[in-house]
């Protein structure tokens, strides 16, 4: 059965790949862009199944208007993909208030507004799938990307909570956690703050690595789109999905390190409750 999608940030990168893949398999898509005409070629090929909408996701009222327009056009929404976002490069000390707020407004609040706008329609249907495009940056951290990380960690927390709240209505939530993909995320799409000279030397290797990787990322947007189609067709989609070999190889070790640290400091962790509230750990059993 064909699906009806609402996809933000569809003009390029993963958003465009998702839009194109859905259209090519016969689905209907309401796709949002900031620049008029960004989807002209897709609209010409799919005039009856693509609704291109101009949207700045930082405008809450505009998000509600766009979602409602899509629902009015197609009659339902099956998959909502919050993809709009960008990277912000700069040290914690140097990032400006304006840059930090703009990053959170787009990457986190934009997804929140679209999600809020879609939920009444999905609840009325008794079904729906909200796909939040997070990142490996919502799991791990790297120098120069602090506020970008903050936006993705916020998205992760909100979305995991959302999944618990809406499961009873037949609504599923999935966080996509991609690694580096061959888009212009680190190129023209990225924002950069003027940094402080004291950080130039210690962080030079990271700047060099980011620049060297741009345009050579292993992730293929078309393959990510194919994976997303498989995901939204699954009867029980997961809350989180890693995307890319680098992420699949690296993330387990990150969690193992966290578990080791927690175990190392478990005694301290257990020392802070009132004595009457202390519950001894359950005895460990051995296999027979």
**134 catalytic per annotation:** yes
Distance CA 70, CA 84 (A): 17
Burial of 202 (0-12, 13-18, 19+ CB in 10 A): exposed
Question: How many other β-carbons are positioned within 10 Å of the β-carbon of residue 125?
Answer: 16
**Sign (positive or negative) of CA dihedral 175, 158, 87, 11:** positive
What's phi and psi for 45, nearest 5 deg? -85, -25
State the angle between helix axes of 146-166 and 97-104 in degrees (0 to 180), rounded to the nearest 10.
Answer: 30
Annotated catalytic residue: which of 3, 49, 86, 134?
134
Q: Helix, strand, coil shares of the chain as percentages rounded to 5? A: 50, 15, 35
Tell me if residue 49 is catalytic. Answer: no
Catalytic residue (one of 146, 152, 159, 210): 152
Q: Is 215 helix (H, G, I), strand (E, B) or coil?
A: coil
From the candidates 49, 135, 148, 151, which is the catalytic residue? 148
Q: Does the annotation mark 86 as catalytic? A: no
Q: Which residues are catalytic?
A: 134, 148, 152
């Amino acid at each position: 059965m064909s699906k009806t999608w609402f996809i933000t940030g569809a003009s390029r990168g993963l958003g465009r790949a998702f839009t194109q893949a859905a259209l090519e398999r016969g689905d209907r898509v309401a796709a949002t862009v900031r620049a008029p005409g960004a989807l002209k070629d897709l609209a010409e090929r799919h005039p009856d199944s693509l609704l291109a909408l101009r949207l700045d996701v930082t405008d809450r009222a505009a998000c509600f208007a766009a979602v409602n327009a899509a629902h009015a056009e197609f009659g339902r929404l099956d998959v909502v993909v919050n993809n709009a976002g960008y990277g912000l490069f700069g040290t914690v000390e140097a990032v400006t208030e304006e840059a930090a707020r703009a990053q959170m407004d787009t990457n986190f609040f934009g997804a929140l507004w679209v999600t809020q706008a879609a939920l009444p329609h999905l609840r009325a249907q008794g079904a729906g799938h909200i796909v939040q495009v997070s990142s490996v940056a919502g799991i791990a951290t790297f120098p120069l990307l602090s506020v970008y990380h903050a936006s993705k960690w916020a998205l992760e927390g909100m979305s995991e909570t959302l999944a618990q709240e809406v499961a009873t209505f037949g609504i599923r939530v999935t966080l996509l956690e991609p690694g580096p993909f061959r888009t212009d995320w680190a190129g023209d799409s990225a924002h950069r703050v003027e940094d402080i000279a004291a950080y130039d030397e210690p962080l030079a290797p990271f700047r060099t690595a980011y620049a060297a990787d741009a345009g050579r990322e292993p992730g293929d947007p078309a393959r990510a789109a194919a994976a997303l189609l498989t995901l939204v067709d699954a009867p029980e989609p997961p809350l989180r999905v890693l995307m890319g070999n680098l992420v699949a190889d690296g993330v387990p070790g990150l969690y193992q390190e966290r578990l080791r640290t927690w175990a190392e400091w478990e005694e301290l962790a257990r020392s802070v409750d009132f004595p009457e509230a202390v519950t001894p750990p359950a005895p460990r059993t051995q296999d027979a």
